[in-house]
Structure 1
Amino acid sequence: MEVAKMANQSIKVYPVGNGDTSLISLSGNQHMMIDCKIDNDAPTNKDKFDVKKDLVANLPKDSEGRHHLDVFILTHPDNDHCAGFKDTFFCDDPANYDKDAKERNAIIIDELWFSNTLFDRFTDPLSDAAKNFKKEAKRRKDLFKNSPEKAKLPGNRIILIDFKDECKDDGFESIIVEPGTSTNIFNKVEKTDFSLFIHGPFKTPTDDSQPRNETSVIMQLRFGSANDEMAALAFFAGDADYNRFQRLLDERDDESIQWDLLLAPHHCSWTYFNMTPYEDFPEPQDSAIEFLQRQRGAGMIVASSKEIIDDDDNPPHYAAKQEYIGQIDEDDFYSTGDDPLTPLVFEAGNNGFSKKDYIAKANLVSAVSGVTEKAKTYG
């Protein structure tokens, strides 16, 4: 029987040094961004990739000619996951979109996703970028509470990744996606070929939790085909350390922690493998290796980091890279630091992901050149 071709869906990981900025392109010309580290000086700095220019070239416009992003998800409020948020996106009611916003190509986020837990349990001082994000999130929460009809409009929508039985505001339960569940509704559109399984943050921290990173939103991205709703699986976990992955192994079913493509946590830091410094204990925890072995066949791992060299930096950590490539083919490990002027693009297919060449387009969605997909060895 002939297998139906999947809609063009992809993951683009931007080269931003040690930081995360990923654009997920879905069917129906929908787009989702997970985290951002966007430098304002990129347009005039020949050594940096201009993320915002690429976004403006790829994102669709609304009926008023304003670029818009369907969904933005913040995994946690470290500066290297939200830098440039206010300068890139429009942080106000779209009704107030003015000449200045138009001139700077401010992008409207139709639906903002984040977790109250990120800020309730994140005890470190917030960067200016994190404060800007929190202010915009509060604006949308206040609007949902006080002007619910206006809060339904694109540019004002919000989804909370939290627990309904801990919700302090009446009515907010309707916009909560709970960790431990999946959803296929994004920006009011019910998808038949994409869903998210939200794993974290976990409801309660453990004694070994880090105050900065234990609240990271952890998620499995499920790209589907006509025959398989989990044809290609990607895993994003912010800066989660190996303790969070131990909890995944202990508390989640096997299907929800499988992966074909993994964004290496914390920019290829050693903390994924062990919280004890490498110099003191250069052995990975069993849970870190066990999770990596949940890859389905030929797995791909991506480090969103500066160039990985054999030095004392952490992140990225050279020994961490060696542990990763010990679990996959070395050619299937990618780092954005290898070419800091070119995004990495992975297209979802019927058999996992395939690496594609990035081709910049002025006004069209980035084209990708054909590469044979890797065959799965499962299912």
Structure 2
Amino acid sequence: MADVHKVVFYPVGNGDTTQIVLSGGRRVLFDFCHRERAEDTDTPEIDLKSRFKDELKAVDRDYFDVVAFTHADLDHIQGSTDFFELQHAKKYQGEGRIKIRELWVPAAMLLEEADKDHQQEEFVLLRQEARHRLLEGKDILVFSKPKALADWLEPRLNERGEAASARDHLFIDAGTIVPGFSLASDGVEFFCHSPFIKHCDEGDIIRNRASLVFNVRFLADGAYYDYLEVGDATWEEMEDIVRTTRYHKNDDRLAWDLYNIPHHCSYLVLNEEGQKGDKETEPKPLVKELLLQGKRDAYIVSCSKPIPDIKESYEQVQPPHIQARNTYERYLKEVGGRKFLVTMEEPNANKPEPIVFEIASGGVTWKRSASIGAPAIITSTPPRAG
């Protein structure tokens, strides 16, 4: 049987939710943003909870193999603690909750503090869940091991009569391949670009700077395709990633057939504050180099509200920024890419549907479908392999 993987981007407004469905059936979810207003059929945002429950029921599942929260901002975790089963407390179990077989989080999510008035906020509940799983030693991977986290963990392991190194296998460093998936058995591997230890060891934790960034490499019928999955990194992190990756001679991990651009098409991913530009944002040198790593027939996806090319868009303070879109489109054209897509624009802004890509022998192909598993309509000619 031919290998067919899928990458699906969900229309949740200025928020992120992306699912990878592997040809063998395993499912990896990046972020979860369910807006309560989406349960009203008159709103354009998708009812994520209903959609996922329907999709999982159709394949006789009540779980995701992996749920990765790139960072703890609300637009990446909203509604998650009502939807997923959490192991750390009975009150978050049962009643049709969806299970997380393995949780992936940046170290920053275990270190964030909250005062007593905010103990029920979702980022605190997820912090408790991540800490519980780490202490239990199962069903979690934590990306980077800063000193602050080691200082929190080691006394607790000592109380349990365990060595300080007893959880080392659950920590993943930047520049390494994540265990549990392989090109040989799953047709995919996850190469961790970020976070770096310095993101938590240099003072205050800034969520965006400490977020997860991956090169996801797919194998389909003997050919390789690369997907760049990025949390809300800023231009500084993007330059760090390029600089560090090249230093370690992993340049191929910067190439992309599919790029989920960070932070809802914010210009701050391309350049510093105040450098939005009139028509386009001029990218920093190493950010520009990353954009030029796009392969022929590549796609860029912006998980964001619509970005119309009208006068008001050029004056927009909050993302998405039309200046950033214009930049991405210019470089996409330069590398011979196919299309810049916005989750809240496809097929139209009134009732958008998930953007579905199939990765198979023909390459990365953009399709539209009402749900995963339903017949898809090809909306672009198959790209060349590689």
Q: Please give the range of the TM-score, normalised by the shorter of the 2 chains.
A: 0.7 to 0.9
- Give the aligned partner of residue 341 of structure 2: 334
- Give the aligned partner of residue 191 of structure 2: 197
- Give the aligned partner of residue 329 of structure 2: 325
Candidates 96, 99, 120, aligned match of 1:108: 99
- Give the aligned partner of residue 255 of structure 2: 258
Check if 1:89 corresponds to 2:76. no
When normalised by structure 1's length, the TM-score is: 0.82
CA-to-aligned-CA distance 1:51-70 (integer Å, 9 cap, x gap): 111211222589xx761111
CA distance in 2, matches of 1:320, 1:354: 24
- Give the aligned partner of residue 38 of structure 2: 42
- Give the aligned partner of residue 348 of structure 1: 359
Q: Aligned-pair distance for 1:135?
A: 1.8
CA-to-aligned-CA distance 1:144-178 (integer Å, 9 cap, x gap): 2xxxxxx4xxxxx1112224997444311122222
CA-to-aligned-CA distance 1:352-374 (integer Å, 9 cap, x gap): 4110011237xxx3442345321
CA distance in 2, matches of 1:60, 1:29: 13
User: Counting helix residues as a fraction of each chain, which structure ranks higher?
Assistant: 2
SS state of the match for residue 211, structure 2? coil
Query: Which one-letter code corresponds to 1:135 in the other structure?
Result: Q
Candidates 233, 241, 244, aligned match of 1:240: 233
Q: How many residues align?
A: 350
Check if 1:372 corresponds to 2:381. yes
Candidates 14, 23, 31, aligned match of 2:10: 14
CA RMSD of aligned residues (A): 3.3
Query: Which one-letter code corresponds to 2:367 in the other structure?
Result: K
CA distance in 1, matches of 2:189, 2:183: 11
CA-to-aligned-CA distance 1:114-139 (integer Å, 9 cap, x gap): 12234537999999221121122122
When normalised by structure 2's length, the TM-score is: 0.81
CA distance in 1, matches of 2:290, 2:298: 12
Matches within 5 A, 1:161-240: 161-163=143-145, 167=150, 168=154, 169-183=164-178, 185-186=180-181, 191-205=185-199, 211-228=206-223, 231-240=224-233
Candidates 265, 270, 280, aligned match of 1:268: 265
Q: Which runs of 4+ in 1 moved over 6 A?
A: 93-98, 121-127, 206-210
CA-to-aligned-CA distance 1:319-359 (integer Å, 9 cap, x gap): 00000000114860000121353111111123541100112
Identical amino acids, percent of aligned pairs: 25
Query: Which one-letter code corresponds to 1:319 in the other structure?
Result: Q
- Give the aligned partner of residue 147 of structure 1: none
